Chains A and B, each alone.
Chain A
Amino acid sequence: MGASSARRSRIVAWGLSAFVVAVPLAWFTPAHASTLPPYQTGRRNAGTPNSSVVVKKHGVVTSYGDSAITYRAPSPALAALGQALYLQNCASCHGTEANGVPAAGTTGAYPNLVGLGPATIDFWIESGRMPAADPRSVQAPRRTPRLTHDQALAVAAWINSLSPSYPYIPTVNLKDANVANGAALFALNCAACHTIEGDGDALARSTFAPSLRNIPATQVAEAIRTGPGNMPRFTGNLSDYQVADIVKYVTTEIQHPRNPGGFGLGGLGPVAEGFVGLLLGVGLLALVGFWVGERQ
């Protein structure tokens, strides 16, 4: 194809970024990784310590990551507070052991939280989805959070203390992220559900992909890495650099579109455009016609 020559530059760009990632990796990853063919970008298990620079304290991983995203564990010192908050807010459904078995007398099956990783817990609490307003609803909607940021970290710290697991809570370095890469990756990975303008849309059986218009960077990264609800998890298929690119695109262009052509018409695309064209365009002109012509 004639396409290939021009696309080669893109491949080169990918290759370069892969190289940038691979160099530190070769240093920090176990021996078998060095046998990988050169085109492997080492994104395997991205979002876990397996693929990144790891910081340990007393033999426990406290943070890991790279220049794009740093994943930090919530401080274990918060665990006691976290347990109290947990018992108060979450235990009625998820059980006192956080294993999804509620106290005797209650019915229903709820997710086991043990081993989900602090990012998951933080995402659900900080997006206001948990504690749920209606535990039986098909999909908990985004709301004003009931717990504060520190309280969410505390709950995550306690659940993580039961069985330490990944991913930790990400901090995204947006400064070096590439918004153009993010746009391309967004179109490839996210637009199918959230729409290309980030508005979200209805999915099967009353579920829906939420709008991305008002979501902080950390939660975007958490959602990508943990796959909340019906969203797939993006682990080995996206590197931290790529996630940072997507997060930058979402928090800039999606959340603050430039709309150089005027009002954005709610981002609904041709539906809204059709209504504007017919009602405002044809309608207004018909009214003018009504004035021009005679009425009898």
Chain B
Amino acid sequence: MSNAVVTKRSKKQALGRYGRVGKALDELDDRLGVAKGGRSFLDKIFPDHWSFMLGEIALYSFVVLLATGVFLSLYYIPSSAIVTYHGSYLPLDGQSMTEAYASTVNLSFAVRAGLLMRQMHHWAADIFIGAMVVHMARVFFTGAFRKPRELNWTIGVTLLTLAIVNGFLGYSLPDDLVSGTGIRIAYSIILSVPLVGTYLAFFVFGGNFPGTAVLPRFFILHVLVVPGIMLALVSAHMILLVRQKHTQFPGEGRTEDNVVGTPMFPVFMAKTTGFMLIVTGVTALLGAFAQINPIWQFGPYDASRISYAVQPDWYMAFLDGALRIFPAWSFHSFGHTIPLEVTIPAVIFPGLVFGLAYAWPALERMVTKDVAPHNLLDRPSSRPKRTAAGVAVLAAISMLFIASSTDVIANFFHISLNTVLWAMRVLVLVSPFIAYPIAYKIASEMHATRGSGKRKTANVVTRTDEGEYVATAAPAYADDVAHDLAPTPVPQYIEAVEADEEPDDGVRTIDR
């Protein structure tokens, strides 16, 4: 026994103070020189506000998308060749359909865990884009896009655009009745572009609709080209985040020149890994219990079939809403047609929305003339104009989102479609003008009354010997954990306290 201990210790000494890990790091550093950078990376401080987790939801649902997507791509066949289905889902037995549709049905029913993976993939996509929008709203309302982070804002807007495009491409791949209708509409939208529309449509689809080229093309775009670009942009987004360091809310001990929070290792790493597990877990739970896109019920696409209540996924719905409520203003003249009823809501309008998003940092700088770099965030209430503008845009887009279900609303409340349509037309136009003043008022009131209603520590008033009254803040409440601690740099070593050694500096170990 004692022999073994001796051997172990001598071995340990031979390896050096940090054992195998230290040895491995030595070898790595000999070759790559990573020790210094690695150390400072592990010491990196991440501010810990809950709203900073929203972007992580997006990041980790992207990871889920990649993983489940690889699984799906093993079974999906991007082909328009017609086959006759003879699989396990009887209501489709003997129907002719594209190989794409048949393979999607097969991977749902015949591949173990296939349906779960498909549903997780779809839910992850819905969550991904939802989280991106919420994250973008957080960045917008807190002014995190300001100098020096305009480039990262631009990357973010591009990522959102690409995610929406890729979501649509993926939604199209099963070639079921609903998605086929979506492709048909996309074709018509491309066709509506003035001057070059027909050429664009023919080049994208390899000819007239539907053709046989579109599924393989959408597939390679969906699984390779767009995700490849997105992966590169997500990396750039992260690298810029690390290089520029995260923003933080103003608060005690927080300045433009520091970052207060938790160190990368181990606290942040544990938290973020746990969060990744939770995002995956929630996606899997949704995939288990909430059926999404039951393509076997929709049946295969056939250009002469149609279902009522066909809608795109939620992130495309605002475009669908815009198409529904826009008046029938087609322009015919000089032997040409400009289908304004399509071009304006489906081409120009989204162009304007995303253009506005790209341009916002520059626009705001033009108005505020503020060219200083900012690392401390705004509270949304302290910038009522910006907040109100953002709320107004969100209000209009939400109304368009609702307008994409005019038929469902009319059916649910038993009112006339015509009434709902006119109501939505009015609401889309009016809502930003109602939302702006309300948001402005709320934000400015909140700003004016900031801090009221919050629990404060008492003031202790003492009288000095000279008769002067001095008010000092009382110590923090005992349960405000860490409230009274000033931030400290991440320690480069931790000094062990011997169990038998009495601390000589008067600091007593807190006994909890």
Contact = CB atoms under 8 A, between A and B. Distances in A.
Given A277-B123, A280-B286, A285-B127, A206 B309 contact: no
A204 B131 CA distance: 37
Interface in A145-187: 178-184, 187
Nearest to B415: A206
Given A262-B290, A270-B311, A281-B282, A196 B275 contact: no
B161 to A, nearest CB: 19
A20 to B, nearest CB: 16
Interface stretch (B91-99, B197-205, B224-232, B339-347): B91-99
A187 B177 contact: yes
Residue of A203, A282, A296 contacting most chain B CB atoms (<10 Å): A282
B496 to A, nearest CB: 29
Interface stretch (A7-15, A103-111, A218-226, A228-236): A7-15
A293 B405 contact: no
A199 B291 contact: no
Given A9-B84, A208-B411, A262 B307 contact: no
A285 B52 CA distance: 12
Contacts of B282: 281, 284-285, 288
B9 interface: no
What class of interface size applies to chain B in its complex with A? 35 or more
A284 B289 CA distance: 15
A203 B417 CA distance: 7
A290 B50 CA distance: 5
What class of interface size applies to chain A in its complex with B? 35 or more
Interface string A180-201: 1111100110011111110111
Given A180-B94, A285-B131, A274 B288 contact: no
A269 B90 CA distance: 22
Main secondary structure of the interface of A (DSSP, over half): helix
Interface stretch (B152-160, B297-305, B455-463, B471-479): B297-305
Interface stretch (A78-86, A90-98, A124-132, A252-260): A252-260
A30 interface: no
B95 A199 contact: no
Given A2-B81, A285-B278, A274 B94 contact: no
B82 A6 contact: yes
Interface in B273-292: 274-275, 278-279, 282-283, 286-292
A268 B309 contact: yes
Given A187-B305, A187-B307, A195-B309, A261 B119 contact: yes
Contact of A296 (B249, B307, B309): B249
B45 to A, nearest CB: 13
Contacts of A7: 82, 96
Interface string B300-319: 00101111111111100100
Main secondary structure of the interface of B (DSSP, over half): helix
Contacts of B289: 262-263
B51 A204 contact: no
Nearest to B416: A206
A293 B50 contact: yes
A133 B123 CA distance: 44
A119 to B, nearest CB: 25
A64 to B, nearest CB: 29
A274 B297 contact: no
A293 B127 CA distance: 20
A188 B305 contact: yes
A203 B407 CA distance: 8
B54 A289 contact: yes
Contacts of B274: 292
B275 A184 contact: no
A265 interface: yes
A264 interface: yes
Interface in B91-114: 91-96, 108-109
A295 interface: yes
Contact of A278 (B91, B95, B130, B279): B130
A269 B309 contact: yes
B369 interface: no
Given A180-B91, A274-B314, A285-B279, A294 B49 contact: yes
A270 B91 contact: no
A201 B53 contact: no
Interface in A228-247: none
Contacts of A23: none
B95 A206 contact: no
A179 B92 CA distance: 8
A262 B287 CA distance: 8
Contacts of B405: 271
A202 B313 CA distance: 20
Given A187-B177, A187-B305, A273-B314, A293 B297 contact: no
Contacts of A273: 122, 126, 290, 292-293, 313-314
B294 interface: yes
A280 B305 CA distance: 33
Contacts of A249: 91
24 contacts: A2-B82, A2-B212, A6-B84, A10-B96, A184-B95, A191-B305, A196-B178, A257-B294, A261-B115, A261-B290, A263-B291, A271-B404, A273-B122, A273-B290, A275-B314, A277-B126, A278-B130, A281-B126, A289-B56, A289-B275, A290-B53, A293-B49, A293-B52, A294-B48
Given A259-B291, A269-B293, 18 more contacts: A9-B84, A9-B96, A178-B94, A182-B91, A183-B91, A191-B305, A191-B307, A196-B177, A206-B415, A273-B122, A273-B126, A274-B314, A282-B130, A285-B131, A286-B53, A289-B50, A293-B48, A293-B51
| 3 nearest A-B residue pairs (beta carbon) | A274-B314, A289-B53, A293-B50
